Structure 1
Amino acid sequence: MEMRMTFVWGRSSESPEMYVFNLVSVFVLSLLVECLSHTRFVSSETDNIVAGLVQTGLYGARITMAYLVMLAVMSFNVGVLLVAVAGYTLGFLVFGSRVFDRSEYQKASDLPPLTC
C-alpha cells in the first residue's frame, strides 16, 4: 500500500462512479456540519434536561461528521479537499452569513462554535 504525503489529483483505485459518490458524500457532510453549527433546534421553552440531551446528541453528530470530513481530506486527494472547502463555504453562506437574513431566527446556535 502506497503512503503519500503530498496532494494528488484524480482517483487511484475506485471507479469513476465511486469517486463521484465520494466527492458528493464529502460535500454533503461538510454542508451538514455547517448546518448544525449555525441552526437553532431547541426552543427556549424546552425543559433543560431535554434541551441538554438534544444539544449533546447534536454535538456528537456534528463532531462525528467533522472528523469524517477530516479523514476524507487526509486521503490527500485535491478533489476531496476542494469539495470539502466548497461544502463548508456554501454551508456558511446559507446557514451562517447574513445573505439570507432571517432576523427572527438569527439567534445563537444550540452548539458551541467549532474551534481549530
Structure 2
Amino acid sequence: QNMDMPAMRMAFFWGHRVQVLFSNWPGDRDGVGMYVLCVLVAAVLAALVEVLSAASRGLSRRSRGSNALGALLMTGIHAVKMGLSYLVMLAVMSFNGGVFLAVLAGHAAGFLLSREGMIGPAATRDDVPTNGALPPSEPKP
C-alpha cells in the first residue's frame, strides 16, 4: 500500500484542507488564502462553461449554412467547453462543500451573465427550453 497517496473521501466535508485538481493545491501549508483562490478558480471555470455554451448556441444560430470556418470555430469552442466541464467535475469530486457551492454559484452566474446579455448578445426566449425539450423549430416556407 502506497502511503504517499491521500485517501479519497466519499462524502462531502467542510474545511480548507483539501486537494483539488492538482497535487498539493490548494495544500495544507498555504492556509485559507490558497483555498479561497481555489474556490474562486472553480467558480470562474464553471461560469466560463456557461458562457461558452451560450456562445456556442449563438454561433450555431448565426451559421446555419455549411461554413467550414464556422464549423471549426464551433468545434474548438465545444472542445474547450468540454475540457473545462471535466475540470469542474473533477473539482467537485474533491467532495469539498465549499468547492461544490462555488461551482454551483459559478454556473448560476455564468448562466445569468450570458442569458441577460451582459456578455455577448442577449439570449432570446427560445434559446433555453424550460422543460428540457428541444427549442421549437423554425416554420418551413
* TM-score scaled by length of structure 1: 0.77
Counterpart of 2:43 in structure 1 is: 27
Q: 1:76 to 1:45 in 2, by over 3 A?
A: closer
Unmatched runs of 5 consecutive residues or more in structure 2: 1-5, 18-26, 129-141
Q: What amino acid does structure 2 have at the position aligned with 1:3?
A: M
Unmatched runs of 5 consecutive residues or more in structure 1: 110-116
1:5 to 5, 10, 16: 10
The separation in 1 between residues aligned to 2:100 and 2:93, in whole angstroms, is 9
CA RMSD in angstroms comes to 2.7
Q: 1:77 to 1:46 in 2, by over 3 A?
A: same
**1:106 aligned onto 2:111:** no
The separation in 2 between residues aligned to 1:106 and 1:18, in whole angstroms, is 36
* TM-score scaled by length of structure 2: 0.65
**Which structure's relative contact order is higher, taking Cα pairs within 8 Å and 6+ residues apart?**
1
In the TM superposition, residue 53 of structure 1 has moved relative to its aligned partner by 0.6
Q: Is the 8 A contact 2:114 2:123 kept in 1?
A: no
The separation in 2 between residues aligned to 1:70 and 1:28, in whole angstroms, is 13
In the TM superposition, residue 94 of structure 1 has moved relative to its aligned partner by 1.6
Percent identical pairs in the alignment equals 38
Q: 1:70 to 1:49 in 2, by over 3 A?
A: same
Q: Is the 8 A contact 2:14 2:96 kept in 1?
A: yes
Question: Between Structure 1 and Structure 2, how many residues are aligned?
Answer: 106
Q: Say which structure is richer in helix.
A: 1
**Residue deviations 1:50-78, cap 9 Å, x none?**
00110110000000001000000000000
